[in-house]
Structure 1
Amino acid sequence: MSHSNPGPAIITRRAVSRRQFLRTTGVALGLPFLDAMLPALAKAEAAAAEPRRILAVCNNLGVLPDKFFPAADSTGRGYKLSPYLELLKAHRDDFTVFSGVWHPDVDGGHPADNCFLTAAPHPGSGGFRNTISIDQFAAERIGHLTRFPSLTLGVNVQRGQRSLSWTGAGVLIPTDEKPSEVFRRLFLQGSKAEVDAQVRRLKLGESIMDALADQTQSLEKKLGGRDKERLDQYLTGVRDLEKRLESAREWEKRPKPVTQVEQPVDPNDPREYMEKTRLMYDMARLAFETDSTRMVTLLLDSVSSPAIQVEGAEIKDGYHSLSHHGKNPGKLQQLEAIDSGHMKLLDRLFTEMKARPEGGSTLFDRTMVLYGSNLGNANTHVTTNLPILFAGGGFKHGHHLAFDTQKNYPLPNLFVSMLQRLGLPVDKFATSTGTMRGLEMA
């Protein structure tokens, strides 16, 4: 694979600590050191030297299925590209497209986007409680290797209602909505006075957590079994927050990476959806280039987006309204223009990542990119036959892996394969039944 000039990029990269750093992750329990941990620790050391990463993107209105999926009888390595995949033809040997996959029992239409990376069943039911997302599962185990265990990004997201990232306690991690703020977090160091003030705030937060833990522990002997379980869950969260505060305090005084890239200007108009998506892809790429994090999620919240701007097309209707097209030719034409815009942004992202050498490979080769949707067809709100594209990351690609479109194959199996590619000793995630059949590591 040839490598072009990477252009303006990172010119300095600082060493990172190997101490456990849990800044935005879910609940993690500490264990005593055991001899059985040695193989896992050896894998963690290898991961530090040769980082592997995950970028997971969900467009919660999906794509037009007949434009995305290859023909049912066009499978394997020699499959014929669909109209949308034709826009990615320069990378056809570097991605795999799946058909006939789903998250078992993840129903409920639009609420299913919260389960895109968790696979928790029945998100539309009363009393639903989410489970941990794949990025947070990985961040709990290797997040200490980077300044940020993970980044949770969003475009036009209804803040507080939707996210791809969820903690082990089933708590939503809010999305970062502004590319400029993501850039500042990654690269801009505050003054000494600002850093000292932040350290003091973190120390105060840690002392408050200590006090809360002491007070609640005194209640434990007086509570029944169910209340004890709830209190234990709360205390676990407190202990986790204490660890994150302590680690965050250490990182505050460490120099951030330096970049020649200018801080982006945030689009203020929700109609600039595509431009904001492009900038968020850039922020994810920059975060990976500097090894600032190895886990990034990006929720493209099309549900709340207006009539968005797409280069070379006239979009008159709101994105959500278009998804309920009822086979109206005018709406279908607009949707196809939007979907094609998404594919072109992916093409740009893949090209940019391939242009960044890393050791003997490229940033693309070391980054697993998952792109898809929680809806198989937004027009009918079905959550079966999900459109899934998986690229890069050190797998043998170039295939259409076609499963039964009536009796779908579990998508969480892909998550197990991804976690194993990170070097994690995992054989189960959510409703998985094994690794992804037909997908091999390079």
Structure 2
Amino acid sequence: MRQSVLSAVGEQRRALIARAGAADRARLDQYFTSVREMEGKLALQLQKPPPAQACIRPVEPAVLPANIDMTDQSVRRTNHKLMAELLAMGLACNQTRAFNMTFSAAAADLHQAGETTGYHQLTHEELIDRAIGYQPKVDRYAIYSMEAFAEFVTALASVREGAGTLLDNCMVFAHSEVSYAKNHDVSGVPVMIAGRAGGRLKPGIHVRGGGQPITRIGLTAQQVMGVGTDSWGFDAMQARQPVSEILA
């Protein structure tokens, strides 16, 4: 059962190749190569994973009521924290190496309990408080989002891995949907990168984009993760220089 299927039919395979012409032999060789590559992938998946010291079974959370409002920001925060902890354990247990986490989708539907106007609608309708220079309720939702991101990063940082933490071995790319919410401006969208990517990133650095295309962030992320590319994006959004200030 452990034998390669190509070895199991080796005699028939050699007989078939002997009768085939040059072109057919080339096509057969491609086919047999693809079969062997598939066998290699299956064999890798059947291997027992290396021990993960931090891998533990998470505590089962309480069951939420069936009619709970998932757009309530406090409920969303609770669920997001649980998902962050579950994802951190999935990484610690080597169940995945890549992830995507969303706190609120585009045109956010979040709202505060007791209020009828939600986050997205407020960005359009709330007046700017002239004394402080911004929309106070919209600002409150932005703080909720940043607190949720902090909880997400904390979940990764709380898992020990090797000489450091899971966060030390990760690169978390986080961003807002827009920059200035009232007119949905996409110039200068704030971006945050957490983690050290196994020592390839320097944390704690603020870089001003200065009008450079945001694709520089994507190019930097790809190069940090070992993707062999020297440019990313098209036309005016093409980036050729990574954000070198954060590279270790």
TM-score (norm 1): 0.38
Aligned partner of 2:148: which letter? L
Name which of 97, 111, 115 aligns with 1:307: 111
* 1:439 to 2:236 alignment: no
Distance 2:177 2:151 in 1: 23
Provide the residue aligned with 1:279 in structure 2: 82
Distance 1:385 1:266 in 2: 41
SS of structure 2 residue aligned to 1:298: coil
* 1:419 to 2:219 alignment: no
Provide the residue aligned with 2:139 in structure 1: 336
> How far is 1:259 from its partner?
2.9
* 1:385 to 2:188 alignment: yes
* 1:262 to 2:59 alignment: yes
CA distance 1:355–1:278, shift in 2 (3 Å): closer
State, as a whole percentage, how many aligned pairs show the same letter: 19
* 1:403 to 2:206 alignment: no
Aligned partner of 2:245: which letter? L
Q: Deviations over 1:118-153 (max 9, x none)?
A: xxxxxxxxxxxxxxxxxxxxxxxxxxxxxxxxxxxx
* 1:358 to 2:161 alignment: yes
Q: Deviations over 1:54-86 (max 9, x none)?
A: xxxxxxxxxxxxxxxxxxxxxxxxxxxxxxxxx
TM-score (norm 2): 0.63
CA distance 1:383–1:351, shift in 2 (3 Å): same
On the 8 A contact 2:176/2:191 being kept in 1, the answer is yes
On the 8 A contact 1:412/1:429 being kept in 2, the answer is yes
Aligned residues: 190
* Larger Rg over CA atoms: 2
Correspondences of 1:11-410 after superposition (within 5 Å)? 259-265=56-62, 267=64, 268-270=68-70, 271=72, 272-299=75-102, 300-301=104-105, 303=107, 305-309=109-113, 315-329=115-129, 332-393=135-196, 394=199, 395-404=201-210, 408-410=211-213
Distance 2:142 2:224 in 1: 29
SS of structure 2 residue aligned to 1:297: coil
On the 8 A contact 1:414/1:436 being kept in 2, the answer is yes
On the 8 A contact 1:414/1:435 being kept in 2, the answer is no
Distance 1:304 1:285 in 2: 25
Aligned partner of 2:182: which letter? N
* 1:430 to 2:233 alignment: yes
Aligned partner of 1:403: which letter? G
On the 8 A contact 2:88/2:156 being kept in 1, the answer is yes
CA distance 1:377–1:266, shift in 2 (3 Å): farther
Aligned partner of 1:402: which letter? R
> How far is 1:304 from its partner?
5.2
SS of structure 2 residue aligned to 1:379: helix
Distance 2:136 2:46 in 1: 50
Distance 2:228 2:109 in 1: 40
RMSD value, Cα: 3.4
Distance 2:174 2:63 in 1: 23
CA distance 1:353–1:388, shift in 2 (3 Å): same
Unaligned 5+ residue runs, structure 2?
1-36
SS of structure 2 residue aligned to 1:365: helix
**Larger relative contact order (C-alpha < 8 A, sep ≥ 6)?**
1
On the 8 A contact 2:179/2:190 being kept in 1, the answer is yes
Q: Deviations over 1:349-404 (max 9, x none)?
A: 33332232211221111111111123122211222110111121341122221132
Aligned partner of 1:429: which letter? W
SS of structure 1 residue aligned to 2:100: strand
CA distance 1:260–1:416, shift in 2 (3 Å): same
> How far is 1:301 from its partner?
1.0
On the 8 A contact 1:368/1:392 being kept in 2, the answer is yes
Higher strand share: 1
Higher helix share: 2
On the 8 A contact 1:325/1:332 being kept in 2, the answer is no
On the 8 A contact 1:306/1:317 being kept in 2, the answer is no
